[in-house]
A = this chain, B = another copy of it.
Amino acid sequence: MSTMPDLQALLAEASALRVATDEESRASYGLDWTRYWQADTPAVLFPGTVDEVVAIVRWARQHQVALVPSGGRTGLSGGAVAASGEVVVSFERMNRIGRFDALDGIVEVEPGVITRTLQDFAREHGMYYPVDFASSGSSQIGGNIATNAGGIQVLRYGMTREWVAGLTVVTGAGEVLELNRGLVKNNTGYDLRHLFVGSEGTLGFIVGAAIRLTQAPPETAVMVLALPDLSCVMRVFDAFRRALSLQAFEFFSDKALRHVLARGAARPFESAAPYYVLLEYVRPAGGAEPDLAVFGHCAEQGWVVDGVVSQSDAHARALWRLREDISEAITPHTPYKNDIALRISEVDPFVARLDALLAEAYPDFEVVWFGHIGDGNLHINVLRPASMALAAFRQACEHVNQAVFELVREAGGSVSAEHGVGLFKRDYLSYTRSPEEITLMRGIKQLFDPDGVMNPGKLLA
C-alpha cells in the first residue's frame, strides 16, 4: 500500500483542486488499458487550470511525491499506470476546446479533450483532424501527444507529432513553457515541442495544445483483399500505392479475423485466406477504375484470391470494423502485445524470419497478427491460454522477447512503433536506442525534471 502524501499542504495552495481518494477512483485511475499491473495510488488529482497543475508539481517537488499523468487510460504500454504509490493527475476536467481560427487552421485545446470530440469539432467547422484509431472515443489529446499516437491513417497523414503546432507544458521543475505557439515557421533554436511529443509524461505535463486541422478528405473507398501468403502483402501494397492515393493500408491474419467474427461480424466475402489487407483510397474520379485494374493485376499474379470494394459508407465502416475490432476482441485473452516497426523495405524478410521464430518459440500459443503494415508497423499479439496463470504466461512471453527484439535490432527496427515504452518496453529500450542515446535521454530528463517527480520509472529505468 502506498502512504498518503500531505494533501492538505497541496490544498492550501490550490483550494479548488478536486481530489479523489476512494477505492474505486484509485483502482480505476491508477491503470491504463494494460492488465499487467495492480493500481497502487493514494490519491487522484483533477486539476482544472494550469495554475493548479503548477501547484501540484511544486508540491510534489517539495514533498517528494511521484506523479503519474492520466488521460483516457487507453495506453498499451503501462505509461500511465500508478503501481508504485504515485499520485495520479487526471486531465479529464481540463477538456475545453478554445479558440479556433479558420485562417490559421489551428484550434487550441486543453489536454483532456477526447480525440473524437476534436474530430467532430473539426468536421463541424468544415475541417478535418486526421489522427484516428480504435480508442478515439475515449483517448484524450494530451495522452495522444505524450505518446505521439499513430493509428490507421499514418500512411497518409503521419503521427500526432505532425499536427502539433504548439504546446503549453508544465515541466517537472514547475515552469510553464509556451512552445512554438502555433507558428508554421520558427527557427529560433532547439524545438522543445518535439521533445515533449512522445515523452510519455517523463518531462512534464502537457496542459494545452495548438492543433493543426486540415482540409476534409476527398471521398474514399475501402477494399478488403484475401491473400494466399504473407509474402504477397508488400507486393500488393506496392502495386496499389503506385496507382492510387492511399489513405490506409492495413493487414490482419485469419486468426485475428476469427476473433472479430466470433463477436457477430460478417465475413467480407466467402473465401477464407490466411491473410487479408484492408486499403482505403481516394475514390477515382470521372468513371476510371484504376482500383479494379490493379486488383485484376494482383489477381492475375496470384497475389490476391478474393476481394470486395465498399458500396456505401456503411459498408466501408463495416469493413473497417473487421480490422479495428481485433484489439478489443482479443482483450479477454490478455494478449501479450508486441508493436514493432521496420523500414517498409525490411518488412518482408523480417516477417518470414519472425514467423519461423514464433512458430518454434510459441508452439502452444495462439499468435494473432495485424498491423499498419503500410507504415512498416506490425502488431504481434500472443494470446494467453485460458488454463494458464497470468504470471506464468507473462514470464513465458518475456522469454522469447529477447529473440524477437534481437531480430528487430538486426533489421534496424523499433521495439515500439506507436504504443510507446512505458513500463512495458522499458527494459528493451536498448534494442532500439544506443547506450549513448539513452545517456543523453537521461540527461534531458534531469534538465526538465530535476527531482524526478514526473512519471518515474517509465520510459527510463
Listed in ascending order, the chain A residues whose CB lies under 8 Å from chain B are: 101, 103-104, 106, 147-148, 150, 154, 159, 161-162, 171, 175, 177-179, 181-192, 194-195, 197-200, 203, 234, 238, 286, 341-345, 372, 375-377, 412-421, 425, 429, 432-434, 436-438, 440-441, 443-444, 447-448, 459-460
Q: Contact: B183 with A441, CB < 8 Å? A: no
* Residue in contact with A177 in the complex, picked from B104, B191, B436, B459, CB distance below 8 Å: B436
Known: A440-B447, A444-B444, A447-B444. A148 touches B344 (CB 8 A): no
A345 partner, pick from B101, B159, B436, beta carbons under 8 A: B101
How many angstroms from the CA of A110 to the CA of B401 in the assembled complex? 35
Cβ–Cβ contact B181 & A343, under 8 A: yes
Chain B residues whose C-beta falls within 8 Å of the C-beta of A195 in the assembled complex: 190-191, 194-195
Contact partners of A448 in chain B: CB under 8 A = 440
Query: Chain B residues near A148 (CB, 8 Å)?
Result: 187
Q: Is the CB of A103 within 8 A of B234?
A: yes
CB–CB A341/B189 < 8 A: no
Verify B343–A185 contact, CB threshold 8 A.
no
The chain B residue with its CB closest to the CB of A165 is B343
Q: In the complex, A179 Cα to B433 Cα: how many Å?
A: 8
What's the least CB distance linking A254 to chain B, in Å? Answer: 25
Q: Can you list 6 residue pairs at the A/B interface with Cβ under 8 Å?
A: A104-B344, A147-B187, A162-B162, A185-B417, A188-B429, A444-B444
Docked-complex contact A441 and B189, CB < 8 angstroms: yes
Interface of A is mostly: loop
Instruction: Report Cα–Cα, A235/B441, bound state, in Å.
Output: 46
CB-based contact B181/A187 at 8 Å = no
A106 to B342 Cα, complex, angstroms: 13
Chain B residues whose C-beta falls within 8 Å of the C-beta of A438 in the assembled complex: 189
- Of B179, B181, B197, B343, the residue contacting A106 (CB under 8 A) is B343
Q: Is the CB of A177 within 8 A of B103?
A: no
Which one, B175, B188, B412, B433, contacts A189 given CB within 8 A? B433
Q: Which residue of B has the minimal Cβ distance to A147?
A: B187
Which residue in B147, B187, B372, B415 is a CB contact (below 8 Å) of A421?
B187
A6 to chain B, nearest CB (A): 27
Contacts of A178 in B (CB 8 A): 434
Q: How far is the CB of A306 from chain B (nearest CB, A)?
A: 25
Known: A183-B376, A195-B194, A443-B447. Is A103-B188 also a contact (CB below 8 A)?
no
Q: Which of A412, A444, A460 has the most CB of B within 10 A?
A: A444
Chain B residues lying within 8 Å of A154, measured Cβ to Cβ, are: 184-185
Cα of A416 to Cα of B183 in the assembled complex, Å: 11
Within the complex, which residue of B161, B412, B415, B440 is in contact with A181, where a contact is CB–CB below 8 Å?
B412
Contacts A104-B343, A434-B177 given; indicate if A187 touches B444 (C-beta within 8 A): no
A197 partner residues in chain B, CB cutoff 8 A: 191
* Min CB gap A345→B, angstroms: 4
| CB contact under 8 A between A184 and B416, given known A101-B343, A343-B106 | no
Whether A414 lies near B188 (C-beta < 8 A) is yes
